[in-house]
Structure formats: structure tokens, C-alpha cells
Amino acid sequence: MPKNPNQRSKPVKRDEPMTGAMKFFLAGCVAELYLLIIRRVYVNGNAQQQIDWYDKYFWLLAGLGAVVLILGVVLSVMWKADKKKRTAGWYAAGGGAFLAVSALLIRALNAPMVTLLSVVVPVAMLLVILWGLYDRECAVALTVLGVSLIFLWVCRRMLSNMYYGTLIRVVAVLFLALLAVAVFLSRKAGQNGGRLGKLRLLPADADLLPIYTACGLSAVAVVAALISVNIAYYAMWALAVVVFALAVYYTVKQL
């Protein structure tokens, strides 16, 4: 009889985050391939292809995504006693939701939405992987910085647009308010052992400095981008350097 019967389960527990990260990586690759196909046959297609996709195929994709979404939710509820099957159901529901929503958004906003989704998908994929592999405070900080980079990219491309400029400014104000809320909730959780009520938000010994730094730098970058579109370019590079430094620091820390 082995001296330590729990020893076999440890590698499995260590492999679970990596397995989940690989699943999200593959899902992100599939989603990016789907967007590349849409760009090839719709955005860069001829007039007849664009009409066919606008009138028929996007509606079909939205309907198919809605069916997969409903089916995934139903199966997840039916399989709630089986963790693996339940997780597979939620993966299917997420894929269906992405297919339906992206089809409707691309049909409504055309090429700019394809470009935006082509940026959002890999960033979201990386952030989900970070949430599975890195410390929670690092994941929160990198999420804030990642969302800020996407927003700065949108500002640089569309802030001067006469149709979307006002909307982007309104979203910027809301984003700054969310950054303030994130700082407040992180501080409150830090004072209560990482909990907000019964919800475990952060580890009990979490270092809040990366979160504060990420929120502060993001706020400064967004305000600077609203003042001048040209500044947004340099702000993006500055935040990218911070993302790289933070990722390297926590990678070395967790070795």
C-alpha cells in the first residue's frame, strides 16, 4: 500500500488548469479561423457574395448559433450531476452564443466589426488562459490592461469618426467608472481576506498593487486618448510594455 495515497491525484489537479487553457486556446483558434473566412467571403467578396451573406447566410448562422446555445444550456442542466458532460454543454452554449451574436453584429456593422472581433477574440483567449494559469491578482490586472488596450485601439481608429465618436466618449466615461469600481472592490476584498461577502474574489494574501497599478495606468491612458488620438498610439505601447513586464514577473514567480 503506498505511503501517500493522495500523491496520484496531485498531477491530475495540476493538469486541470492546463487542460482548460488548451481547450480555450483551440476554441480561440477556431473562432479566429471563422472570422478569417468571413473576411474572405464577405468583406473581401464580390457584390453577389456580399448580398447573399447579408440576406441569407448571416441569418442562418445566427439561427444555428441560437439553436446550439439553447441545446447547450438544456444539456448542461440535464447533466448537472456529471461535471464533464455539464462542462461540455456550457462550452457548446458559449460557442453557439458567439456564433449567433457575431453573425448579427457583423451583418449590422460590416467590416469594422470583423476587424474588432479579430482583435477581441485572441485577447479574450489569452485572458481566459491567464485566469486559469496565473495568480488571481495577476489575472485581474492583465484583464484590466487587456481591455484597456482594446479600447485604446478602438479610440485610435474610430474616435474621430463622426458616427461613432460620441458613442466612444460615452463608453470611455463608463469604462473609467468601472475602473474606479474595480479599485474600490479590490480594496474592500483585500480588507476582508479576499472576500466580498460570501464571494471569494481574491486570495487572502493577494498583492493588490498590480490591480491598483493596472487601473491607474489604464485610466491615465484612456483620458490621454480622449485628449488626442495620436497619444493613444503611444499609450498602447506603454500598456503593452506593462503587460509584458507583469506577465514575465508572475511567470518567474510561479516557477
Pair 157, 217 in one domain: yes
Domain boundary among 100, 133, 166: 133
Please indicate, yes or no, whether residues 57 and 163 belong to a single structural domain of this protein: no
> Quick check: helix, strand or coil at residue 200?
strand
This model's pTM is above 0.75: no
Which of 105, 133, 161 is the last residue in one of the domains?
A: 133
Query: Model confidence over 199-239: pLDDT tens digits?
Result: 777 877 888 898 999 999 999 999 999 998 888 889 999 99
What grid cell was written down for 208? 493588490
Q: pLDDT band at residue 8, thresholds of 50, 70 and 90?
A: very low
44-75 pLDDT, tens digit each:
989 999 999 999 999 999 999 999 999 999 98
- Bridge partners of 200? 195
Strands (E), the chain: 195-196, 199-200
Q: What is the mean pLDDT of the segment spanning 175-195?
A: 89
Are 63 and 155 contained in the same domain?
no
Question: Residue 33: how many CB atoms within 10 A of its CB?
Answer: 10
Q: Kindly state the cell numbers that stand for 6.
A: 493522495
- What is the rounded average pLDDT of the residues 28-33? 91
Q: Which domain holds residue 122?
A: 1-133
Whether residue 127 is found in the same domain as residue 160: no
Burial level of 239, CB count in 10 A (0-12/13-18/19+)?
A: buried
The DSSP annotation for 40-78 comes to IIIISS-HHHHHHIIIIIHHHHHHHHHHHHHHHHHHHHH
pLDDT at 19: 76
Q: Pick from 107, 133, 159: which residue ends a domain? A: 133
3-state DSSP of 175-199: HHHHHHHHHHHHHHHHHCCCEECCE
What is the pLDDT, as a whole number, of residue 58?
Answer: 95
- Do 109 and 142 lie in one domain? The reply is no
Residues 118 and 17 in one domain: yes
Are 14 and 106 contained in the same domain? yes
Same domain assignment for residues 138 and 111: no
Same domain, 49 and 167: no
> Based on the domain organization, do 93 and 204 belong to the same domain?
no
Q: Which residue has the higher pLDDT, 158 or 100?
A: 100
Is residue 2 within a helix (H) or strand (E), and if so which, with residue range? none
Q: What is the pLDDT of residues 121-142, one digit of tens each?
A: 988 888 888 777 778 888 889 8
